[in-house]
Amino acid sequence: MERGLYTPDHEDFRASVRKFVEREIVPHRQKWEEQRLVDRQVWQVAARQGIIGLGVPEEYGGGGESDIRFRSVVMEELAAVGAASVQLGFSLTEDIAMPYFLELGNEEQKQRWLPGLAAGELISAIAMTEPDAGSDLQGMRTTAVREGDHWLLNGTKTFITNGIQADLVIVAARTEPSAGSRGISLFVVERNTPGFDRGRKLEKIGLHGQDTAELFFRDARVPAANLLGEPGSGLRHLMRCLPRERLAIAMSAQAAAEAAFGWTLEYVRERTAFGRPIATFQNTAFALAEMRTELDVSQAFIDRAMLALNANQLTVEDAAKAKWWATELQQRITDRGLQLHGGYGYMAEYPIAQAFLDGRVQSIYGGTTEIMKEIISRPLIRPS
């Protein structure tokens, strides 16, 4: 089925991204997985190729292109080669952290940080999750107290993507403990901030090349000029930016599911049993038909959501629908694909095996599937 989503400009961009992936990602991907870290220089090379920094305005050194379809192209090309760790690292900056800098940063902050982000010289992270408060943002305990020209941050964050390499970390902290949801503020904590320490690089079952860390703040002295947005409005700012984040996760999940289907289709066409390709057995053929249908239906909704985001019309509920559906679909497609690979699907050298491990977290971060359903259900059960 023809999607009709992309223009010739997007396809020209795809050709450039594909060359970049073949040259700069594929030869190094396994090394990055083994060393549990993607080399920093890949951000800079990607920036020179115009692959990251797309949404940063030209006056700050970026591409000045806000069309999220270009980000979709990058996700699809990275998914096609199984580079999930690279994709998540890029997406954290481009789709999750960058909107905060663009929408909340004042002119001085934009001048200070955006050029480095656009050039791939600065890597960003966002620190919301805490050991005792996962999806419950209102349960966070990290605090920030004003002291002269600085804020003193105290607390712990965990499961922070890009946590080891990040030069700029957007940290959510309570500035007015008695104000409830209106007492949370956002701060940009820079790499060498006194009192800011990184803990261990967390060992995960998948996404081994992507650095995930614990972060510690012990009277971390953050300049007052690093307050991002309005004091006490952090939760409102987070709620405003989360739909973009959740759609980005949905887009990456859809791209990964499509890649898993492609690997599976290729395998069952070539693998024979009882003298014929296993794709010709009815059970396999029906499984392929089901997967292809699910993928096409899901893609149609996500394409619509991307266009809605471009038009500033994406709702919180539709972003939640896209996120939970696509991430659960990714797990179903990958699991079926692994099953159809038979014993080879359990072998680490086959991309379907790595995709099975890499994709499991998709329905957890950015808000669990259960939280997404809660968001979707609220307006449905609210009295009219």
DSSP string, 178-212: GGGGGGEEEEEEETT-TTEEEEEEPP-SS-TTS-E
Structure tokens at 268: 């069952």
Looking at the structure, tell me whether residues 332 and 216 fall in a common domain: no
End position of a domain, from candidates 97, 118, 139: 118
77 three-class SS: helix
Of all residues in the chain, the percent with pLDDT exceeding 90 is 90
376 shares a domain with 286: yes
Residues 177 and 295 in one domain: no
CATH number for position 329: 1.20.140.10
Question: Is residue 240 over pLDDT 80?
Answer: yes
Taking residues 182-205, report their average pLDDT.
Answer: 94
3 pLDDT above the threshold of 80: no
3 belongs to a structural domain: no
Alpha helix segments (H runs only) across 311-349: 316-340
162: left (phi over 0), alpha (psi -120 to 50) or beta: left
Q: Which residues are catalytic?
A: 245
274 in the same domain as 341:
yes
Q: Does 132 score more than 70 pLDDT?
A: yes
The per-residue pLDDT for range 91-119, each reduced to its tens digit, is: 999 999 999 999 999 999 999 999 999 99
| Residue position matching structure tokens 């010709």 | 280
- Mean pLDDT, residues 282-304 taken together: 98
Tally of domains in the chain? 3
Last residue of a domain, one of 198, 232, 266: 232
**pTM, to two decimals:** 0.95
Task: Output the pLDDT for position 133.
Answer: 72
Query: What does 143-162 look like in DSSP terms, one character per residue?
Result: EEEEETTEEEEEEEEEEEET
Residues 283 and 375 in one domain: yes
Helix or strand holding residue 171 (H, E): strand 168-174
Question: 368 and 262 share a domain?
Answer: yes
pLDDT at 182: 80
pLDDT at 139 over 80: no
Judge whether 2 lies within some domain. no
Average pLDDT over residues 62-68: 94
pLDDT at residue 235 greater than cutoff 90: no
Host domain of residue 32: 8-118
DSSP 52: S
Same domain, 196 and 286: no
**pLDDT score, position 177:** 79
DSSP 8-state symbol, 363:
G
**Which CATH number goes with the domain that contains 187?**
2.40.110.10
Does any domain span residue 257? yes
Q: How far apart are CA 245 and CA 91, in angstroms?
A: 9
Domain limit, last residue, from 118, 152, 176: 118
Q: Is residue 1 in a domain? A: no
**Residue 65 sits in a domain of what CATH number?**
1.10.540.10
Q: What mean pLDDT comes out for the span 193-213? A: 95
Q: Is residue 219 part of a domain?
A: yes
Q: pLDDT tens-digit profile of 332-383? A: 999 999 999 999 999 999 999 999 999 999 999 999 999 999 999 999 998 8
The proportion of the chain whose per-residue pLDDT surpasses 70, expressed as a percent, equals 97
